[in-house]
Amino acid sequence: MTAAETAPAETAPAETAPAETAPRSAYDLTREELAEILAGEPPYRVRQVWDGLHRRALRPREMTELPLALRVRLEEALPAALSEVARRSADGGDTVKWLFELADGNRVETVLMAYPDRVTVCVSTQAGCAMGCAFCATGQRGFERHLSAGEIVEQVVAGIRAARPRRLSNVVFMGMGEPLANYGRTWAAIERIHDDLGISARHLTLSTVGLVPGIRRLARATLPVNLALSLHAANDELRDRLVPMNRRYPIAALAEACAEYVGTSGRRLSIEWALIDGTNDRPSDMAELAAFARPLGAHVNLIPLNPTPGYALGGSSPRKAADARDTLVRLGVNATVRATRGVEIDAACGQLAARGVQPVVDLPRVG
């Protein structure tokens, strides 16, 4: 059997699927399409509504500078793509998780995290995920569909609205789905977030399981977004088991693509490593990780695994996590242990969608 046969389908019902016929979100519309909707109105309305949607993150009904009849018409012509099914908060309100339903009934999750120095929203790029990582709740759920660019942008808009009076500063593409398996729509969302929502590219971070063609494409992309690589194992034997996509893009290929990314873009690479007790938290694992990370000058984020229903193993203890970090630092690698947010509301990494199949009455709306 070839590697390609044993790895999951990379883009599943792929990017080659026919383009959506109708825009899924107001944020999928181009300015020209908005102008068509506003035909017959004074020309300045296009800029007014565009700024209302983007710069001010308003729904049409809230654009009080517009005549009432137009607001009513636009509320219908520009329906929200995401309807809030549930919202929960944790960490004293500093973490908020939404469960959103899309027009076709698929569900995705978005998480907002407020820190003293920044407010970050974590967005989904697909409903489900085809990559099948064993330890990840989204992977356990399987692939449903790609999100449109507008559906991704709308999650950021929800974050902007909920962050107020603070300003949303950062976006991480670390929610449900593999962003590089939905490259075109994710990139279109990044451009809209940068150009129209006004968030700096250096405050955008895309996380990937390691799709080599996508990493190479990103290396040459025009906006300097950050890249995070979810490595979790730095030898093929272990990584094949944890991350099935490794069978298609093994460690050596990944290292080469990452070197190209760092060399071509001059941008920072970070490595995500979910610490799994007794599996990838030993000194020998850290030595392999250091050998991968050091030549790339990458920063390593160690995140004790969050338990998920479909995976038997648990996260490393705080003590073992600190030891792993110290080993890396001794080996000359910049490393931190990342505290996870919102564990009690399943908002932590890899827990999104853990409850997706349960009735939403389990998730009472808060606030």
Give the interface with ligand SF4 as residue ranges (CB under 6 A). Answer: 129, 131-133, 136, 138-139, 177-178, 209, 230
Distance CA 333, CA 314 (A): 25
Angle 350-131-345 from CA coordinates, rounded to 5°: 15
**How far apart are CB 129 and ligand SF4 at their closest, in Å?**
3
- Per CB under 6 A, the list member of 306, 324, 345, 347 interacting with ligand SAH is 306
**How far apart are CB 293 and ligand SAH at their closest, in Å?**
15
Tokens found for residue 205: 């971070």
Angle 310-287-273 from CA coordinates, rounded to 5°: 30
Whose Cβ is closer to ligand SAH: residue 28's or residue 178's? 178
Whose Cβ is closer to ligand SF4: residue 132's or residue 304's? 132
- Annotated catalytic residues are 109, 349
**How far apart are CB 78 and ligand SF4 at their closest, in Å?**
30
Residue 221, CA distances (Å) to 191, 224, 227, 314 in order: 11, 7, 12, 37
Which residue number places its CB atom closest to ligand SAH? Answer: 350
Q: Which residues neighbour 238 within 8 Å (Cβ) at sequence distance 6 or greater?
A: 279, 280, 285
Cβ-defined contacts of 45-51 (< 8 Å, 24+): 45/70, 49/74, 50/196
**How far apart are CB 274 and ligand SF4 at their closest, in Å?**
8
- Per CB under 6 A, the list member of 186, 308, 316, 327 interacting with ligand SAH is 308
Q: Which stretch binds ligand SAH (CB under 6 A): 21-29, 203-211, 214-222, 262-270?
A: 203-211
**How far apart are CB 365 and ligand SF4 at their closest, in Å?**
26
- Per CB under 6 A, the list member of 209, 211, 254, 290 interacting with ligand SAH is 209
Angle 28-180-13 from CA coordinates, rounded to 5°: 75
Whose Cβ is closer to ligand SF4: residue 74's or residue 347's? 347
- Per CB under 6 A, the list member of 349, 353, 356, 363 interacting with ligand SAH is 349
Q: Bin 148: left if φ > 0, else alpha if -120 < ψ < 50, else beta.
A: beta
| AA identity, residue 131 | M
Whose Cβ is closer to ligand SAH: residue 27's or residue 273's? 273
Contact flag: residue 162 with ligand SAH (CB under 6 A): no
Asked if the peptide bond before residue 165 counts as cis, ω within 30 degrees of 0, the response is yes
Tokens found for residue 133: 């990582």
- Binding site residues, ligand SAH, CB under 6 A: 135-136, 174, 178, 207-209, 230, 272, 274, 303, 305-306, 308, 349-350
